[in-house]
Structure 1
Amino acid sequence: MDQSRPPRYNGFKACDPCRRRKVRCNGQQRCQQCEHLDLRCTYTYNRGARSRKNAVRRGTHISEYKSSSQKNGAIDRSIPGAGPASPPDLSVPLSTTYLHSLIPKYMLCVYPFNPIITSDEIQDSISKMDTDRDRAAFVHAFTGVTIDLTQSNVKASHVSEQIQELTRRAIELRTPLLPGVRPSILRTVTSVYIQMCYMSLGQYDLGFFYLREAISMLHLLRIDDKAVMAALDLPERSRRQRLYWLCFIHERFMSILHFSPPTLSPYTEFPDEDPALGPYITQGWIQVIKTFLLLEPTFISLWIGDRSHVTVAWVEQKHRELADELWELEVSLLTDMQQADLVVTRQWMRTLLWQMAMSNCLLSSNASCPSLSLEMPLRLSNQLRQFLTKISQNTVQIHGSSILSKLLEIINTIADVVIHGPAVTLEETTSRIDDIVFMKNVIFSFRNLQQISKTILVEKLELIRERFPHVPVASQLVADSVVS
């Protein structure tokens, strides 16, 4: 026997992770596969445990998670095929069976609002993730964002822990961008999904960082270069245009949430119509773009800067843009999930507009423009409640942290008006508080409601209850709202 040869660890047997995944293992102390995927490389020497007869059936861990999820009543029966994506067992590599089970959920809940990476491309990334680090990074980010958006209503800390770990792995797996190397569409979307995961986890600064990273890749891809884009075929050109608009939308939202100036201008045109996308996704996507175009530079600069420049004329103009009857007709033809996103977003923008008018003391009890009325948020509250009662709650929760942030802005504004507004009749007060109770129940159903947001809201609800002890419904404001 050659004593100079480096020892092999069980040369004729695979390590535990490779054995579970049924891939080739080189038998080293830390095998090539585990080194590549940064896994804990272990070898089980129990002959009975390693025999095929006694081996744990492939997919057992996933089945256990699915069983646990169903026992918790997490599957939404109102959306066909939208059962929640159970968190994977991250002590072993992600199984292809589990990853493929996520694709239908992704296509139903994620793709319509992020229509860039198709199911075929995801399958291709899954098949190559063992040999391509960037594809492995995307798969982890895709897993994290799909779990997040399909388990927004699951009250379990392990879900957030799984998303945190999947996001960390996605970041660590990516290869560095070196001179002469251009980022891919896949890598850019990976950064967007990382941003979405961090936003869900309440880590807004990291979300901001990875969104800006995605925007930097847009420039490297030269999506704003007409000559480069003209050389592409229709599907690829349309996809890159949608990617630009996706980053534009996310950045406009972050500008409001993070009080940061945007860097992207609107793209020169709407995305070219891609027949493969499907008409309902195309129509919904165009409506999302139109909605976020209302957050133009003046709106954002007034929101994050000097609001003394907010004028009555400007508020009235923005109100007319937000009260477009044609928009309401077009949106009514979309799916409930698309409507939930668009209607809540419009009400959120109306709330922001009212706040800016209030900041410059432009409000009046007899204003001709609703956005200049003292009671505007209360009207929005009633309208939003009427809409939300017509759709499944899961169609709201499926939008995750972005729609939660908008709902929080709306309910906090409504609560402030009720706390500080003039006294009204008992019937009106009861109606207002009942709307707040309804909104509170919607918001508290989200898994990723951050503790600081919950604390602020509960304090306001307590103030309302103390101010109106004679209103029976006020007792429901703090029910199930104890701050832990």
Structure 2
Amino acid sequence: MKRACDRCINRKVRCDGSLPCVRCSSRPGLSCTYLTPTRKRGPKFSRLRHLRVPFQDRPTQCTEKDERSRLVECHDVRTSTLQIKEHDSRIPLVVLETIIEAYETRMFPVWPVIGSESLLQQLRKPGDCIDAYVVATALSAATMAQLHLPPMRYQSQMFASEDIERECRRVRATSEYREQPDLRGVLTSFFLHVYHAKVDNQNSALLYIQEAIALARLLHLDEDEDERSCENGSCDELANGKIIYLLLWVTERGYAIQYGLPISLHHTVSLSSIKLSTSGTCIQGLINLASLFVTFDSSSIPQFSRYKEFPVSKDQLVGLEKIFANTPAPLKHLSVAQQADFLATKNWMQTLLWQQAMSRGFLSSSSECEFMTFRYPARVARESLMRIRLFSTGDLIPLGRDQLVKLFEVANTLADVLLCNTQLAKHSSGQLGPQDFLHGLYQFISPMLELDGACDSMLRQKTAEVLVRTPTRFWQLESGTMSDNEWMTGTKLLNQ
């Protein structure tokens, strides 16, 4: 009898039962296992005993009183069982406190929308605050997934990110968050989007970000009026509605571009009103990031998928690239995560613009504009490498899979260009070339690619092919003009 593998069971998709199965083998790097014990099918109790009772021995009548007492007894059993289940599934406060403290330390610059101390005070109050508990569990699930935190142990129980996300959905289903929307409901949908985007559930991630946007529209967060949303459930631990709406706007645009999806927020946000009404370093970092997407919007390019054709001229692309090239580096007083996010997003957008120019046949090897040549991806990769080498891989972990996809796009585009045009890899001795930039980018993001087997396998294979095809600089050195010490020195330099 066929059975499904562990991964297909968790994702609730059909499995062909082979080893490895078709779904796991289509994604290199994933292990196909059958460790989950097989559950017994059918009812949990036997009906044979009841069926074997002779007809004449069965009760012929059931009075209304007996039926009522039986129903009350059944209701009491179900209620007590439900209460035990809810009690067992509730996430302990100490677990939520640990994760929320990690959010405050590492994730707040990326999502500056919830004050952890105020949220914890709500959770510590006597009585159940369902809304605070739901948004806290959604925030905890997203934080654990984003930071790759291991399961939390409390007494004899283990709580992983998927357990907390499941508990969030269970409790949220008992509330009227759609009929009575508030800012907590908006953020709960946003954090559920982050969680599902991190675990690569694209359909669920898309539905949750659209749900967050729909709730924000019901609160009129998309209108340029005073913060009307604060009347609908204002909370001390939450940022104002404009900041929350800006975060949704940036998140949807980035997700739509990466996966070729349509957008629902077609109009451009007004950053001037947000700058006047807000302050704080983390808020400024979010505004700087949003300004890159506003620049894209000003060109009328994003209707908003790179996989769809839209009317754009060569001069528009050149002008837009100049704006990005002249964009100053982020301020140093911003957090490391915000600086890395801004720089990676800028280089990623420059790469997307070049892809648009190439797909429309605008490129020429004799063009005086470097943006319109095949050398441009190497320039973007060099700039990206020079910037990100100031950060560690751990600095990019809070940015999640989005930043990995952006840096992968920069490196993968350069790899494709070098494989199609090997002449670009030729350079004089002692100089770094495009293949060195590709190799450096791959080495930087390879630790993060371990969780994405398909991307890792693709970029590893392309990088290896580029390095094999590229002439080595060793044979370009003139041995007759160098001493043994100089040869050894040169060899050490090449090995660095």
User: TM-score scaled by structure 2?
Assistant: 0.69
Checking the alignment, whether the CA contact within 8 Å between 1:381 and 1:414 is kept in structure 2 is yes
CA contact (8 A) 2:146 2:198 kept: no
Deviations 1:296-315 (A, max 9, x none): 17322374355474421011
Question: Structure 2 matches for 1:292-441, cutoff 5 A?
Answer: 292-296=293-297, 298-301=300-303, 303-304=305-306, 306-307=308-309, 309-325=311-327, 327-328=328-329, 330-423=330-423, 424-425=426-427, 427=429, 431-441=433-443
Shift of 1:291: 1.4
The whole-number CA distance in structure 1 between the counterparts of 2:296 and 2:306 is 12
- CA-CA distance at 1:413 after TM superposition: 0.4
* Residue in structure 1 matched with residue 169 of structure 2 by the alignment: 171
Structure-2 change in CA distance of 1:181 and 1:148 (3 Å): same
The partner residue of 1:467 within 461, 466, 469 is: 469
Alpha-carbon distance in structure 2 between the residues aligned to 1:445 and 1:414: 20
SS in structure 1 opposite 2:364? coil
Gaps of 5+ in 2: 1-68, 151-158, 475-496
- Contact 2:109–2:337 (Cα < 8 Å) also in 1: no
Offset of residue 452 of structure 1: 2.1
Residues of 1 paired with 2:272 and 2:224: CA distance? 14
Alignment of 1:100 onto 2:129: no
Matched, 1:452 2:449: no
SS of the residue corresponding to residue 301 of structure 2 reads helix
Q: CA deviation at 1:416?
A: 0.7
Task: Please show how residues 164-313 of structure 1 align to structure 2 within 5 Å.
Answer: 164-175=162-173, 178=176, 181-226=179-224, 229=227, 239-264=240-265, 265-270=267-272, 272=274, 279-296=280-297, 298-301=300-303, 303-304=305-306, 306-307=308-309, 309-313=311-315
CA shift, 1:101, in A, is 2.5
Shift of 1:368: 3.4
Classify 1:273/1:235 alpha carbon distance in 2 versus 1 (closer, same or farther; 3 Å): farther
Q: Which residue of 1 aligns with 2:86?
A: 36
TM-score in terms of structure 1 length: 0.70
Tell me, yes or no, if the aligned pair for 2:367 and 2:373 is still in contact at 8 Å: yes
Q: Which amino acid aligns with 1:391?
A: F
Contact 1:362 1:372 in 2 (8 A): yes
Q: Deviations over 1:93-139 (max 9, x none)?
A: 53322322233321232222222221134214533697344433322
Could you say which residue in structure 1 is the equivalent of 2:15?
none
Kept in 2, the 8 Å contact 1:287–1:331? The answer is no
Q: Does 1:118 align with 2:105?
A: no
Q: Is the 8 A contact 1:125 1:139 kept in 2?
A: no
CA change 1:119–1:463 in 2 (3 A) is same
Alpha-carbon deviations, 1:430-466, whole Å to 9, x = none?
A: 6322322221122221277322222322332343244
Which residue number corresponds to residue 124 of structure 2? 127
The 8 Å contact of residues 302 and 310 in structure 1, kept in 2 or not, is answered as no
Contact 1:414 1:436 in 2 (8 A): yes
User: Is the counterpart of residue 162 in structure 1 residue 174 in structure 2?
Assistant: no
The 3 A distance-change label for structure 1 pair 282 and 178 is closer
Once residues 27 and 209 of structure 1 are traced to their aligned partners in structure 2, the CA distance between those partners, rounded to angstroms, is 33
CA contact (8 A) 1:222 1:228 kept: no
Identity %, equivalent residues: 20
- Corresponding residue for residue 494 of structure 2: none
The structure-2 alpha-carbon separation of the partners of 1:447 and 1:201, relative to structure 1 and needing over 3 Å to count, comes to farther
The separation in 1 between residues aligned to 2:382 and 2:465, in whole angstroms, is 21
Aligned length: 389
* Bigger Rg over Cα: 2
Task: Tell me how far apart the structure 2 counterparts of residues 95 and 332 of structure 1 sit (CA, whole Å).
Answer: 39
Q: Deviations over 1:15-45 (max 9, x none)?
A: xxxxxxxxxxx9986362x433563xxxxxx
Structure-2 separation of matches of 1:238 and 1:31:
35
SS in 2 for 1:457: helix
Deviates further, 292-301 or 230-239 = 230-239
CA distance in 2, matches of 1:262, 1:211: 10
* 1:341–1:399 CA contact under 8 A, matched in 2: yes
Residue from 442, 445, 449 that aligns with 2:444: 442
**C-alpha distance in 2, partners of 1:162/1:132?**
23
> Which SS does the other structure have where 1:304 is aligned?
coil
- What is the CA-CA distance between 1:340 and the residue it aligns to? 0.4
Q: Larger deviation: 298-307 or 376-385?
A: 298-307
Q: Say whether the 8 Å CA contact 1:404–1:449 is kept in structure 2.
A: no
Answer whether contact 1:133 1:175 (CA < 8 A) is retained: no
| In structure 2, C-alpha distance between the alignment counterparts of 1:179 and 1:102, rounded to whole Å | 24
Look up the SS of the partner of 2:99 in the other structure: helix
Is the contact made by 1:255 and 1:300 (CA closer than 8 Å) also made in structure 2? no
